[in-house]
Structure formats: C-alpha cells, structure tokens
Amino acid sequence: MVDDAQVKAACGDAATFDPYGDTLREECGVFGVYGHPDAAAITALGLHALQHRGQEATGITTFDGQRFHSERRLGLVGDAFSDAEVIKRLPGQIAIGHVRYSTTGATILRNVQPLFAELDGGGFAIAHNGNLTNGLTLRRQLIRDGAICQSTSDTEVMLHLVARSKKPRFTERFIEALRHLEGAYAFVGLTNKKLVGARDPLGIRPLVLGELDGHPILTSETCALDIIGARYVRDVEPGEVIVFSSDKVETLRPFPQVAPRPCIFEYIYFARPDSIVGGRSVYQVRKTMGMQLASESPADADVVVPVPDSGVPAAIGYAQASGIPYELGIIRNHYVGRTFIQPTQSIRDQGVRMKHSANRAVVEGKRIVLIDDSLVRGTTSVKIVRMMREAGAREVHFRISSPPITHPDYYGIDTPDRDKLLAATHDLEGMRRYIGADSLAFLSVDGIYRAMGFEGRDPVRPQFTDHCFTGEYPTPLTDRDGEVPVRQLSLLAEAS
Amino acid sequence: MVDDAQVKAACGDAATFDPYGDTLREECGVFGVYGHPDAAAITALGLHALQHRGQEATGITTFDGQRFHSERRLGLVGDAFSDAEVIKRLPGQIAIGHVRYSTTGATILRNVQPLFAELDGGGFAIAHNGNLTNGLTLRRQLIRDGAICQSTSDTEVMLHLVARSKKPRFTERFIEALRHLEGAYAFVGLTNKKLVGARDPLGIRPLVLGELDGHPILTSETCALDIIGARYVRDVEPGEVIVFSSDKVETLRPFPQVAPRPCIFEYIYFARPDSIVGGRSVYQVRKTMGMQLASESPADADVVVPVPDSGVPAAIGYAQASGIPYELGIIRNHYVGRTFIQPTQSIRDQGVRMKHSANRAVVEGKRIVLIDDSLVRGTTSVKIVRMMREAGAREVHFRISSPPITHPDYYGIDTPDRDKLLAATHDLEGMRRYIGADSLAFLSVDGIYRAMGFEGRDPVRPQFTDHCFTGEYPTPLTDRDGEVPVRQLSLLAEAS
Amino acid sequence: MVDDAQVKAACGDAATFDPYGDTLREECGVFGVYGHPDAAAITALGLHALQHRGQEATGITTFDGQRFHSERRLGLVGDAFSDAEVIKRLPGQIAIGHVRYSTTGATILRNVQPLFAELDGGGFAIAHNGNLTNGLTLRRQLIRDGAICQSTSDTEVMLHLVARSKKPRFTERFIEALRHLEGAYAFVGLTNKKLVGARDPLGIRPLVLGELDGHPILTSETCALDIIGARYVRDVEPGEVIVFSSDKVETLRPFPQVAPRPCIFEYIYFARPDSIVGGRSVYQVRKTMGMQLASESPADADVVVPVPDSGVPAAIGYAQASGIPYELGIIRNHYVGRTFIQPTQSIRDQGVRMKHSANRAVVEGKRIVLIDDSLVRGTTSVKIVRMMREAGAREVHFRISSPPITHPDYYGIDTPDRDKLLAATHDLEGMRRYIGADSLAFLSVDGIYRAMGFEGRDPVRPQFTDHCFTGEYPTPLTDRDGEVPVRQLSLLAEAS
Amino acid sequence: MVDDAQVKAACGDAATFDPYGDTLREECGVFGVYGHPDAAAITALGLHALQHRGQEATGITTFDGQRFHSERRLGLVGDAFSDAEVIKRLPGQIAIGHVRYSTTGATILRNVQPLFAELDGGGFAIAHNGNLTNGLTLRRQLIRDGAICQSTSDTEVMLHLVARSKKPRFTERFIEALRHLEGAYAFVGLTNKKLVGARDPLGIRPLVLGELDGHPILTSETCALDIIGARYVRDVEPGEVIVFSSDKVETLRPFPQVAPRPCIFEYIYFARPDSIVGGRSVYQVRKTMGMQLASESPADADVVVPVPDSGVPAAIGYAQASGIPYELGIIRNHYVGRTFIQPTQSIRDQGVRMKHSANRAVVEGKRIVLIDDSLVRGTTSVKIVRMMREAGAREVHFRISSPPITHPDYYGIDTPDRDKLLAATHDLEGMRRYIGADSLAFLSVDGIYRAMGFEGRDPVRPQFTDHCFTGEYPTPLTDRDGEVPVRQLSLLAEAS
C-alpha cells in the first residue's frame, strides 16, 4: 500500500520494530471464510498464522445476515482478538480479515483494513494484499470527480471504483473496478451475500483456496489453513475472480490470459516455512537454496551458523550439502517483542546485543560460514560479523541464499530506496569490505531458479517476477513514471 | 444530527449520563477563529465554555499554512485538550472546533466533528450545530450516485455536496451545497484559505460573531467569547454566509429573506445563563419567566425551592415576585460526573439520591414551591417530589417556568418520542397525579413571550419557533414525511 | 494525614485540582457497615455522598467470612466503583471505605486507604479521617524497633501499634494502640468478626452512627446516610470506641472525659449543607452566619452575589437579613472536572475564566455585595473582584462569613503554610487593598459562635476548636514542637 | 517464592502464558550494578537478557545519593523499561533489578521485586532468585511478633529479619538475617552505601560476578553480562556474601563450608544456551546430552526433529551422533506473545496449532525422532506426537534429553504437584502409551552427569542437586514437613 513508506520515512519509528532497519517487510495477509458458524474466531486464528506478513495492525469484518460488524486494531492479532468479548462483537457466518505491516503508531487507525463502504446495494468490505502501481493516479481522478477519501490506503480506491460502477450486479461492479487497476493484488471481499476473492493477472501476490467442514476459505498462505485444520484445495489462479454465495461458487477469468509471474520473494523471505506456495514447500525450497549455495560457493570452514531465524533452513541445507556441522553460533532473544529499550549512547557504543547474542562456546577459535537468506542494507550483517569476531571467530565466511537486491519493489514489499540497498551501490568486494567478512557470496539468479526445480531463469518468459534482483518490472509503474510522478496527498494529520 | 437518537435508543446508555432519563439535550456547539497565533488553545477554551451544549465528544481542526491537523476525542473538552502536547499537535492560526452530545460509547469516533475531506481544490473541514430535516434523503441520493459515507452524521452530507459541486470557487460550492439543505444549521468551516460560517435562513440555531485582538471568532454563544476576553460583535444573521480570508470579509445572503424564527428553547434550557442570545440576557429571561409564573400561578407556600441547577434563575424570580423566601431545599452532588455507580436492586428500591438530596432542615414541615425550567418525561419530577415529601414537606406545589412539551424537536435537540413526553399523553391533572404534587402549573405560551418582552405570541408570524409547545414546525420535515419515511442506514457496527 | 502536605508541596500538582490554589481541603471521609448483604455497594454509595471530603483517591475493604477483599483507586468514587465487576470483587457483609483528598498523581497508591494488615489473630483493615500530631514521632520509634512501613500515611502507625500490642483480645489491642495517639481521628476498622469505630477524645473530626434495615453504619456525615435511605441514630461521642460484632454492640470510653471541641470548620466549610453535624443543620448554620454577617457588617448595595458554590447559603442569609436582592452574578462552569486546559501565557494574561464567569446582566452598573465562606490565600478573591469590575460592577463589597484564618491546621485540613495565609500577613486594610474590593469585612469570632446558637465564644472552655482563627490548639503538637521537629522520611520515590 | 504456586493454582491463568500447561518455570533473575553512571539503563538491559527467567513482572530500584527510586511493573522488561522517561525516573549509580515469573494478572503488584524497606539506618532494597523452604514458618513467627507483611513474597521475610536485627552494622544485620534462612537463594541488595550479593550455602541458584568499565555487576547468568559487553569475572561462591561499597569490596563466608550442589536444572532447562554456568557452556552441555541420548537410546529413523526451541541443542547433538539428518519438522509461531486467542470449543476440538505447526514437507512418510529437553505433565507431548502423525509421520520416536521428573522442586522452580507429573504416576510404557509415541526414552541420571563431564553421579556426594529426578532434597523442607505443614496465609484479595 501506498502510504506506509512515506509515513515511515516521516516518522522513523520503524526502528521500534526492526532495530537494525535491515529487513524486508511484506505488507499484508488476508483471510476470508464463508458460511461457518465460528467465522470470526476462525478468521482470528487464520490471521494469527499469517502474523509474519504484518504485525502492525489487524482487522476483521463479518456479516450476520443483517448488519456488518468490524473490529480493527493496531497491534498483533493475539492482542486484538484474544478477548472473547471482541469475538462476540463479530457475529455472523461470513468474515474477512487482514494483517498489515506498518502504520505510524496510532496515527492512522482509519487505514486499517478491512475497509468498508455502504453502497447503494448494501455494504461492502474489502481486504488487500499487494500494491497498486496506479493507485495514486486513480485516487487523484476520483477526488477530481467529487469522491471523498477517508483513508490514505490504495485499497480505498477499489471501494470507490465499485461504488461508482453503474453495473447492476455486484460481481460486475467488482470486475469493472478491477479493470482500472495496475500492479499486484490479492483481494478478499465481503457483501451481504457473497465472499469474493481476486488475484491479479500475473499472480504476483499469493491467494489460496481451502475448505473447512465444507466451508470455503480464501487466504494468503496454507499455514493459515493448517492452524485450523482446514484442507488446502488449490491456489486461486492469477487473474481469477472467485465468488461464493449461498447456492453456488462462480469462478471468473475477466482478464486476457498471460503467463503468470508470482513473486519469487515469497519463497525466499516472506512465506512461512511450513507453507506450500505454488505447490512447493517453502522450507524445502529454502533448504535447497542452501544446498545450491554450498555447491556454487563452498567455504573451507569448521561450522555452519545460521543467522536466526531467517537463515536456518538454508543453513541446514548448506551444512548437509557441505558436510560442515550445523551449530547455533548465534542465540536469538525471544523477548524482543514490540517495544525496545532505548539504551543510552554510552551503552550503545559498546555494541548492545538486544536481539542476537554470540554463542561463544561454538564460535571461539572457529572458521564459520554464516548463512542468511537475503542482504538488504547490510547494517545487521555488519553487526553480526563483528559479533562473531568479538566472540573469537577465526574466519567469517558470509553466504546469502539469494541474489543481490538491486531494485526496489512496487508490489507490496516495503524495500528501502535504491540508494539504501547495499547491492545497488557496492560491488561484491565493496559489500564484503563493508560487512567485514573474510568472504562473501550470493546465490546466483539461475541458482535460485534451480532451487525451484527449473534449469535456470527463462530469460524470455521468466517463471517468476524477480524485479528486485533484475530490475525487470512485470507491470507498468504509472504512479512512478507519469510525466509528473504522482505523490500521496494527505492534507490531514490526525492522531486517530 | 441524525444518528444520535437512534443510536441512543438502541443502546440505552443515555442513562449513564442522565440517571433519570429526563432532560433535553442540545446536540452541539461550534467555535471558529481566524488568524490568531493561539488558534487551537483559544478554540479549546471556547469549547470548554460551550461544554453544556455537548459533553460526549469534542474535536478541533486547524490549518497551519500547509497541512490540516485534527484531534477528535470522546469525552469532555477538559479531558481532551488539557494536555499541552495535544494542543501542540494543532498548529496554525485558523481553527474550528465542536462539542457534541451523545455518541454511543466508543462506537463512533468517526462521527466526531469537525469532519474533514480532501477536495480537489484542497482540504475542507466542517462543524455543525443543528439538524437537517432532509439529511437522510440527501444521503440516500448521494450513495445512489456512488458516494461513500464514512460517518453516520448528517454533517457528512454537506461535505459530499461541496465535493461534488462543479462550481469553480469554494464559496460558490459551499453555497450551492447549502441550497440542498432543509432544517436547522449553524456551520463553521475551514479551508486552506478561509474560515466560513453559515446560519440557516430561519436562524433556528444561534451563531455569533466576536473579535479577539482583531481576529474574528464565530461561535454558538457569547459565553465562549467571555471566557477568552473576546468582544461580542453581533449575531450572524439568519441565512447569512460569512467568509473570512486573509484580505477581506465577505458576507453573503444567498437565500430569499424570510422572518427569522430562532429556537425559543435556547432561552428556556440550553444557553448558559450568562450568555446573551439574540440581544437578551438568558439569566434575566429565565428570572422573568419565574416572575411571570408567580403572577400566573401563585402558590400559598413557605419557601421557594429550585430544582438545581436548572430551576435556579426562575426560582429567584418567583421568590422575588411572590415574596416567599428562596431556600436551597435540594442539594446537588457536584461529583456525579460522567460515570455512575450502579446500585443493586435492593438499594435502588430504597430510592437512591445520587444526584440530588433533600435539605431536610429547609423542607421539613414546610409548604414548598418547587421550581423547574421544563418537564419532559416527568420521571425526575416524580422522584424529587417524593424526596421532598420524605424529607417532611407538608405541601409540594410544582411550578414549571415553560409550557407543556407536547411535540418532539427535529432541529438538533434530542427529545424523546412523543409517547414518552408526559404532556403529550396526560392532561394537567393527570400530570399532577403522576408527579404526586399538591398542585402543578406551567407558564403559558403567551407568558413565555411576555417574559421575552413581547405582548404575547404573534399567532400569524410567531417571533420564535416553539414547535415543541405548539406543534408548528417552521420547515418541511422531508425525512419524516416522505412517502416512505427515510431511516438511517448503518450497516456497520464498529467499536472505534 | 502527614504525607500529603509535603508531597503536594514537592509536586505542586494541587493546581490541577484547584486552579487558584486558594481553598481548604478536608483530607478524608470514612464509612463502614456491618452485616448488610450489599455491604460494598452501600459503602460505595456512602462514599459517593462523602466525595466532597476527598476527591483524589478512594477504597473499600470487605470481609466475606473467609477472606478480606480490597479495591483501592486514585480518582473519584463514581469512577472507581461504578463498574459492577468491581463491586462483585468485594463480597461480604462487612465493609469499610474511605475517600481521600490529595495524593500526588499515581505516586502513592500504596497510601490509599483502607490500609490492611495480616495480624497474628487475623486480618485488620482501617480507614482514618484526621491527622495525628505525633504520627511521625511514633513512626520513628516503630522503625527503630524494626517495623517496616509500606505507606507514608500516619494511619499505618495505627496498624503497627495494633500489631505489636501484646493484649490477647482485638478490642484491647485496638484501645492500647489508641492510647499512643495524639491529634484528631475518626477511625473505622474491620476484622474478621468486628466493625469498630473510634473518635478522638476531643471529637475534633466527626463520626456518626446510622442504621439501615437494622444494620449499623458508621460514617463521617449524615449525608452518607441519606443517600441510601439510612436512619441517623446519634453521633459517636468524643473519645468513644464502638465495636459491632455478630451478637452485640460494645461501646467503650477508654479515655478520661474532657470537654469536647469539635472542629468548627466542619460547619463553615467542609460538611455538606444537607448534613446534620453535632445536631445542627449545616445549611442553617451557614445561612445564619450570613445573617449575622449582614448585621455585623452591612453594605449599601444593589445586589447580593454569592461566590458559587461556597458562598451560596451565607449569601441567601445575608440577602434575607439585609433585604438586598440575591442574584447569580457569577456563573460556575459545571464541567471543570478533574483536568484543566493549560492555556498559553498570551491567553492567560487576558484573565481566563475557566471556573467562574461574570453574569454581566446582573452585575453591570451595580453596587454588589460579594459573599464567600472563607478567605485563605486570597488569590481567587482577587480574580473574582477583578472579574466583577470588568463586568461593570460599580462597587464591590466583599463579605466573608467566617473570621480571618491566621493559623494553620494540624488535624486533617490541608492549610497553606502561615506565610501564605493572607490574614496572617496583612491587616484588614491590607487585605482589602490586595483583593481590590471597595470594602472588606469578616464575621467576628463571637459572631460565628452566635450563629451556632451560643452567646459567643466561651474564652475559658471554647465550645469548638477554632485554632485556625485563634491559634489555640487543643492538643499537643508533638511532631512540630519536638526538640528537633520530626519530618516525614520517605526515601523511596515510586510511580505506583 | 512462596506465593506463586498457590496463587496460580487458584487462578489458573498460567494458561495464558503456557497454552499446554506443560513447562517448568524459573521464578526469577536478578541483576545489580555498583557505581555506573547508567546504572538503571544497564540494569534494564541485563534484565532483558534474563527475560527467559521470568516474564511476568520486573522492577528496578536505584539510589541516587539521597533517595531511592523504584519502578516495578507487570509484564516484560522491554515494555516496562523501553521508555526513556521511566529510566530517567531511576537516577543514581547503584541499581538492582529483578525479573519474575508468574503473578496473577494485576493482582499483586505489591509482590513485584525489588522490595524496599525504610530501616532505622536508611533504606534497603532487595531482589531474590530462589525459594526459602522455611519462608512461611519465618513469616508466621514474624507476624506473631507484630510484623506487618505487605507482600506475600518470601523475600519480604528477609526484609523483616534485617529490620529486626539489633546488630549495629548493615552487613552484620544482613548476615544475621541470612542465618535464619533455609532453602535456595541468590540475593542482590542495595543500601544507601552498598551493593550486596549472597548465594545460599549449597549454591543451588546461580549468581555471577562481572565487571563493566571497572564497575562490579552481580547477576544470575553470564548472558546478562554479554548483552552490555561486560566481562565475566567469576561465580559468586556458594555461601558467599559479597559487599561493594565506595572504597572496598568485602567478601564474607559466614556459613560453614559444605560441598556445593548447584541445581542441575539450570543446565537442562533454565539458563540461556549462550550462558556459561559453573564454567560450562550451557549449549555444549545440552548438545552433549543429545549425543549421550543418541548413544543410550538410538532410534531407527529418517529425520531428527527438535521440539522448538527447547529441544534444539539436544537434537543437533543427537543428529550429529546418530548421523540422522536434522530437519525442522515443527515450525514455531514467533508471535504467540503474551496474549492468546481463546478459540471456541468447536475449533479447539480440531486441534489448534497456536504455537507450533507441523512442517509436512519434512514429516510426511518419514520415521522421525522427536527430541525435547524434558517431560513434565506430558500434555504438550501428546499434542505434538498427534500433530506429527496427522502430518503423515510414519513412526514417531520420542527422546527426552533428561531423566523422568518424579518429584516437585521447592527451590524456586514452579513444578506441578506430584500427581500431575507424568513420570510420577506412569511407568515408561505407560508414558509412551499416554503420549502416543512408537517409542519413548529418557536420558539416564548417570547420562546427565556424563554429559556434564563426570563419570556418573556420585551417589555419596552428588555433584548437583537433582531432587526432581531422585527425590533427594539437599536441605530441610521445614514448611512442608512441619507437624502441621505451614501454608501461605493471604487474607487479602486485591486487584492492585
């Protein structure tokens, strides 16, 4: 979504959640269920399983046959929906829900999804994972036509487009609205009769169909099915619109068929290791990336040490392929939580280990291979390498189980600006020096495709979108590339 | 505004604030200031002085030359704006603010005013005292045309009408929007250049113009000028639109001139006694009503006892005119506050005196004249009469310093449904019996006009709107009287 | 109690609650009930009626036959005990409760009463109105003997004295502890078998006995009986210890009989006007003080104006005795509440009227007699006189219905230090000039006794303690007058 | 400490934090620093590193040369001390702090440590890890002697003993108090001059001495030194009392020397893997236990799967020793946090995986060796085995890297009652059947000693206390074994 990067830049409070400012962040996860008597509780559980996709805010909207009910909160699912009273305020057998990364503190509760509108034909709620590359352009047109936007979320654009459609039936209005959109989206929507899902024509963001006691579920990842014992049915297909109502399921394909290009970062970073994405076990893909990395970039070392927890599966793979023992050389503090002690400068200078600490017994006197899944700004890596050396590591060989990130994302992943991406501004040797490792290697782009079971990347029709590594964006970037790039206009600052 | 009565009916939580469910409630007060360096702090003080017009929520919106800032809260002005940090978040030299009666708990923060919209030409904020009698009808049309309403407040209708106007200049759009409205309104609005005020053609709700250090102020009552040492300039006239910008003041009269009919209840009940409304001291009017009442309905009694605090000025007048001594026979507990102990039934049956208690030393053995300003449901009066008797009163003569309320209001006063109004369902003797007084008398309708300085009510062109006493409504009641009466449609229930 | 004055001096946050820093404050009210099935709810209601005696904190402790239960909160009774859940957590048929003036914000919840200790023979809870003049001396001795004090309240001293008594029976231990005390106290205490009350030998602080459905009640004022429909039985006598248990009532008089000297300030200032204190109606006493004042210090004026609400009864009396009409020349804002807007300096300089505002229609062009009940620092009076003049008063004659306060209190009333008392540092003409009135007069000391029904003050055996006016303290002031005056020692600063 | 088990039993809210009710819990961690300008911030960081020892409450007390300052909170260190304002309220160069497991919600803030008392000679604060086996007996005696206990913590007993000592010097009083104690303790204490530490004669609970920029630190584990870059100096010895003041360090050994018996559970379960306890790397010990387990109880299987995170080091050891590949067959949800969704029964019946989920890609069709570090009630193990089978595991061989727990702990570890311990009520085959595994094996008692570097357990003078496995308690259990076992007496229930 559009607003977050700007808001975050303005506030700088991302540090609260990522002390090293050095990770990628998915912006959303969605969940919807149709016809289940425990719809809200099931949605809360599903969102809990999707928590890794967004920790800053969450919401659930239900329809009880007469009214819509909505509860939206800043914070974690477990905090928002652990109270039985809150679930009781969400009656009904249809529900959709959302987890969302990054808001600026209490500032923009009105941006928390699902968003709702009372249309002429009844209420409509929607939740969105992805990002529209023409969202601001559409918003500007809508305001020019007299629309009043209450949020700064690009998802609200979809509400207005549906509201303004003159088509008679809801599904037609929904599809007419979709036709205006560019970019990446996985929507779940709710009316007084229907649960609707839609995935963008390239299938950039994931959406899967599950089933629990005969009731359909739409959600971002299979782990949200597993938590409630639901069965995985199939992936919603790129470009598919699927509509559940009391008497039927409609599946529509309103867009011309194109070759899908799901986002490869789901495998590398975002999806939970126990999820099955596009038919592949995320854990196995990551482990295989580690094995592939061991074969591409071996290291003469005594122990393989994962950066917890992101590097663990690849490190297991690297260790198995290389025969070097796998050891926990870095211990993660499980209580980092949402808040963070702000130490004084004098302490900070000593190099505080709030999140990770070295396991000296494993590291001291050893040549270690450090494994992580990606390298963004490199600030964390610097600290981890230094921590390893201070704990007595004799050599530190850094291995990254994905290629260098050289381009920002515009499809719902919050990446730093290009000039903050280490690989966009340094060559390999420059990165190695910056990080302070004895050697540094990345998995090749072809290597990543190999880990996915291909011979390599198809240069003509790449099997995935891998723009962060290659700069090849699969859709127009209208907001960015307009004659005058369109910027978010938010004249109102409000604390709630 | 439209939503409150319904919402309250649904929730019944009015009892939290009015243990006897037996008062009238003004729904709003407004304040705006242009060009003052302390605009937000001044607005907060003005709203504090208007607190009697609405205790449930409050908000302030400012413009600082670049951005709009808004802080809206449930609760009292003193709680919302006592923190210097909150005022600091409201920079700028133009500000508008609002106090509002009744919301349903935390339910509808999004209804709290000022409301804001980002229009094509820039931001626009508005605050409203009054009620549109065609608000729901307009809302239905807007939604049919694709508008998305975020609040259930009729004030939002005004935002949409301005947003959709195709006129080139803001003032023209604002006036075009006003032309759609029926009912009562006193608006203050804020753009990035202007402070605007408007009062409905009949002047049902009040709006006055003041001045502080050369900076104009618009507000509901003069007491909001007094608190900050501002000077009263004049009343905004019925049907007047007044626009302040950096280089000029425009005053426009876009409506055909009609005879004004300000609401007589401002004098009887709502305005603060130290306010000057329509050129009259509210305190003096109320005291004169008491004198008039003494002459219309004398009583053979030992003491005059006001129902605190509503009956105090009239009781002073009654005592002076009758020569019967004025005494505090009822003591008010000053700490009733916003919350209320819920006693168990066994205690309740004994007749708890949470808010008032009898001053036995004054009452015992005496014939008392009890004075109150109005009689709505009568439930409080029953309890007060019983309390007087239990404290030993020999006789209780109840005198009301206004006429019987027989009709509901549709212009921003929250009145019960007709069948809950005691005077709509009982004759005088029936009311006396219900209340349990030895005698009961109301001030006559002509008497009330006499207290205002007239010979009586002009039956052809009544000088005020007095529909609650007479049933003569001064405007169409479109929402109520449509072929199918239009009801508020709020499909969404949300706790924030 | 001992701690408050110091704590407040340190923190200065009293201003939050008294914007003009210019009132006296009672420090406590107590309530206890024995054997009633709704003991906690009844206690909450009683405390609500005593709210004027202390607004900063409140607590209730009950015994349910097996365990003690306690809920203690900062803030008002209505906020603390309005929730049925809180009352449910206070089961049992015996309860005591407390309201307390002044704590420093959240700082000292552990000081909030009732205090509780688990003694050898079982639990014991106590609530206290008054102040021990040897409290710090006793505390020092106890600590020297190895006691650990958790609060800084002098009430805790009583707990330790009871805990350390070697007497076999509780009542004996309680009385042995009382023998150590000097100063003023009205205690209610609770054990697993008994409700106990005690009043100091001079009866400085009030304590009355009531009865509800056959169940005894002990409380500070009769208004706490009225609110629940309880019957007033009699005052607990000075020096009396009264003990209720399941099968009997014991009344003990362990101290040598001395002439009682109840605190005259209860009549002047603290008690609620509808309370009966020492057999006299507080309202009638205050009104008679006003009449007495009119005869001692008449004024040639057009209107009598009370300073609301403290001056109202005396103003009614003054008006009746003088024949000058009583008018509301000052309007009180009912929403001052607990928090207070902090205006900027530029606004403050204009003289903000947060709490009071002038009713110009009454004041303009008039010679007014302003009536208040007491004069402490004079800071409020300065502002009120100025406000009257700004509203057009031609002459302002200030009349105080009590004598000049020249000495601090040590018995539970929070008075400023001597050098802050206007009457301790200025003669009458100096005070008049400071306040800016055209004339100033106080009720004489004899006049106050006359208003109480005496011929005047008995100089040999004064009927009341009136030390604030005369400097004659009725008990030793051990803490103050020790060789080295004992100071509160609080080594610990903690926010909760 | 004494109160928790009972309180928890009463309230059952442990489930909030441990959904399966099936773990052991250390009750505390302590930290103290002397003479550092950032004493409070350093303590907060140290406590953060000790968070695994207690997640329910935390506190810090400092002395600034004149006053003591204390901040105590329910919840995590990161929540309590992340605010710079809170740290600012803790000035001074001496600080002690505490993390604590289990309080019953908000109930007992007064139990949160450090506890403080104002003694005759000045203030004294103390924090405690361990449990006194005669704490209740001492408390009973103290109360009989007139002491008033404000907490239900056995730590308060120590405060009273110090307060009542008649010795002239603080250190003497402290040691005199220690002489009354039985059981396990690691104390850090603070006076206006000294930082003091003490470890029980057997050294049951750990305490280490570190140094930062020349300033001494006392804390429970070395990981609290690492986080701030402090240097580990040595373990405080069993029975040692160490006193830091401005000009010297005193180390005293007031107790007769006995063979130390540190608690073996620190190695198995409590200490953080990167800590060095008694000179041994906890990680290496655990990994060696896994290797030892592989040799004692091999399994014919395809993958080794750790129960995360408790089983990870042992599983790595087991995999290395057995040659069976280590794989993440169970994924832990990192967002379980402090609150927990309460699903409805219908969902619960389907077996919700809130905390763990199966990684089907690893498990399906495989024979797996599940490794965990201990087995308490077995309730979690049942669910995990079932989860493995539902994910398609062909065989599940459960291996526990410690012996069966057959006896409760009385030294500061919260163990269930004996009849809730699976190994106390079932034989091996019974346990296997209960858990549903294909095979089950525990590490032998001798095996655990071997993993610690010994030939086996010395049956005459066991090198550790291992009472949970053997029932040999190293100290008297006075409270438990008294003629009438002493129970905690808490007559007061209070929500804060």
Dump pLDDT digits (tens) for A260-309.
Answer: 999 999 999 899 999 999 999 999 999 999 999 999 999 999 999 999 98
Query: What are D444's two structure tokens?
Result: 């032998």
Terminal alpha carbon distance of chain B = 19
Cα–Cα dist A274/A232, whole Å: 13
Q: For all residues of chain D together, what is the average pLDDT? A: 89
- Residue A227 contacts B where some CB pair is shorter than 8 Å: no
**Cis ω on the peptide bond leading into residue A306 (within 30° of 0)?**
no
A31 touches chain D (CB under 8 A): no
Contact (Cβ atoms closer than 8 angstroms) between residue A113 and residue A98: yes
Query: Average of pLDDT values for B67-93?
Result: 91
Residue B106 pLDDT exceeds 70: no
- C4 or C304, higher pLDDT: C304
Cis amide linkage into residue C309, ω under 30° from 0: yes
Q: What percent of chain C has pLDDT over 70?
A: 89
Query: What is the least distance, in Å, from the CA of C43 to any CA of chain B?
Result: 10
Say yes or no for a CB contact (<8 Å) between A164 and B146: yes
Return all residues near B248 (Cβ < 8 A) that are at least 6 apart: none
Partner-chain residue, chosen from A86, A123, A150, that has the shortest CB–CB distance to B492? A123
Question: What average pLDDT score do residues D216-237 get?
Answer: 96
Dihedral (Cα; D475, D479, D481, D485), 10-degree rounding? -170
Residue pair D322/D403 in contact (Cβ under 8 Å)? The answer is no
- Inform me whether the pLDDT recorded for B302 exceeds 80: yes
Written as one letter, the residue type at D107 is T
Predicted pLDDT of residue D76: 87
Look at residue A256 in the predicted model and tell me its pLDDT: 95
Smallest CA-to-CA distance from B315 within B325, B304, B324 is with: B304
- Do B335 and C76 touch, CB atoms closer than 8 A? yes
Quickly count: other Cβ atoms within 10 Å of residue A204's Cβ.
29
Q: What integer is the mean pLDDT of B450-471?
A: 96
Kindly report the number of other CB atoms within 10 A of residue D141's CB atom: 16
Residue of D377, D82, D386, D44 lying closest to D219 (CA atoms): D44
pLDDT at B50: 95
- Position with higher pLDDT, B209 vs A379: B209
DSSP string, A312-349: HHHHHHHHHHH-PPB---EEE-TT--S------HHHHT
Q: Is D483 helix (H, G, I), strand (E, B) or coil?
A: coil
Q: How much is the pLDDT for D393?
A: 98
Q: Do C491 and D149 touch (CB under 8 A)?
A: no
Tell me the mean pLDDT in the region A410-431.
Answer: 91
Give the three-state DSSP class for D329.
coil
Give yes or no for A173 touching B (CB within 8 A): no
Residues in chain B within 8 Å Cβ distance of A192: 491
For residue C25, pLDDT beyond 80: no
Whether the per-residue pLDDT at A148 is higher than 90: the answer is: yes
Structure tokens at A454: 């291909």
Judged by CB atoms closer than 8 Å, whether chains meet at B495 and A117 is answered as no
Give D71's contacts in chain C (Cβ within 8 Å).
494-495
pTM value is 0.88
Lowest mean pLDDT segment, chosen from B75-89, C379-393, D241-255: B75-89
* pLDDT (0 to 100) of residue B103: 40
C179/chain D closest Cα distance in angstroms: 17
| Residues in C touching B283 (Cβ below 8 Å) | 328, 331, 359, 361-362
- C–B contact (≥3 CB pairs within 8 Å)? yes
Q: Using a CB–CB cutoff of 8 Å, tell me whether C345 touches chain B.
A: no
Mutation site for A-interface testing, chosen from D16, D347, D356 by largest number of A Cβ within 10 Å? D347
Look up residue C465 and give its DSSP letter.
B
Split at pLDDT 50, 70, 90, the class of D18 is very low
The answer to whether the beta carbons of residues C339 and B79 sit under 8 Å apart is: yes
Confidence class of residue A215 from pLDDT cuts 50, 70 and 90?
A: very high
Q: Is the pLDDT of residue D345 over 80?
A: no
* Mean pLDDT for the stretch of residues C422-443: 97
D490 is known to lie in a ligand binding site: no
If you write DSSP's letter for every residue of D335-403 in order, what string do you get? T--S------HHHHTT---SSEEE-HHHHTT-EEEEEES--SSSHHHHHHHHHHHHTT-SEEEEEESS-
CA distance D44 to chain A (A): 8
- Whether the per-residue pLDDT at D60 is higher than 80: the answer is yes
Element spanning C351, H or E: none
Dihedral pair phi/psi, residue B136, rounded to 5°? -70, -35
Taking only the tens place, the pLDDT of each residue in B331-378 is 988 776 544 555 555 555 555 567 889 999 999 999 999 999 999 999
Q: Is B291 on the interface with C (CB under 8 A)?
A: no
From the list B37, B337, B362, the residue facing C78 with the nearest CB is: B337
- CB contacts < 8 A (A, B): 111
Does residue C8 contact residue C108 with C-beta atoms inside 8 Å?
Answer: no
Q: Alpha-carbon torsion B227, B228, B229, B231, what sign?
A: negative
For residue C117, which residues of chain D lie inside 8 Å, CB to CB? 148-149
pLDDT for the residue numbered C320: 97
d(CA A464, CA A442): 19
What residues in A contact B68, CB-CB < 8 Å? 491-493
Least confident of A17-26, A477-486, D228-237, D300-309: A17-26
d(CA B301, CA B367): 5
pLDDT tens, residue by residue, C119-159: 988 999 999 999 999 999 999 999 999 999 888 888 999 99
Contact A289, A492 (CB under 8 A): no
The domains located in chain A, with CATH, are 3-261 (3.60.20.10), 280-470 (3.40.50.2020)
Average pLDDT for B302-307: 98
Which of D51, D227, D352 comes nearest A45 by C-beta? D352
Handedness of CA C451, C457, C463, C469 (dihedral sign): positive
What does the pLDDT look like over D111-125, one tens digit per residue?
A: 889 999 999 889 999
What phi and psi, each to the nearest 5 degrees, are found at residue A351? 80, 80
- Percent above pLDDT 70 for chain A: 89
| D352 near A CB under 8 A | yes
List, in sequence order, every residue forming a beta bridge with C197; answer none if it has no partner. C188, C242
Q: How far apart are CA A117 and CA B492, in angstroms?
A: 9
Q: Tell me how close the Cα of A228 comes to any Cα of chain B, in angstroms.
A: 26
Token pair of A200 as six digits: 């963008």
Beta bridge partners, C306, equal C371
The whole-number average pLDDT for the span D398-406 is 97
Rounded to the nearest angstrom, the minimum Cα separation between C358 and chain D is 42
Q: Do chains C and D touch (3 or more CB pairs under 8 A)?
A: yes
Other beta carbons within 10 angstroms of residue B83's beta carbon come to 14
- Please indicate if any CB of chain C lies within 8 Å of the CB of D164: yes
List, for residues B216-226, the tens digit of each pLDDT value: 999 999 999 99
- Per the rule left: phi > 0, alpha: psi between -120 and 50, beta: everything else, B123 is beta
Q: Residue C442 belongs to what H/E stretch?
A: strand C439-442
Question: Would you name the residues of C annotated as active-site residues?
Answer: 28
At C152 the pLDDT is 81
Continuous segment of H or E residues that includes residue D118: strand D115-119
Rounded to an integer, what distance in angstroms lies between the CA atom of residue C411 and that of residue C28? 11
Strand B492-494, strand A68-74: pairing: parallel
Whether C309 has its CB under 8 Å from any CB of chain D: the answer is no
D9: pLDDT strictly greater than 70? no
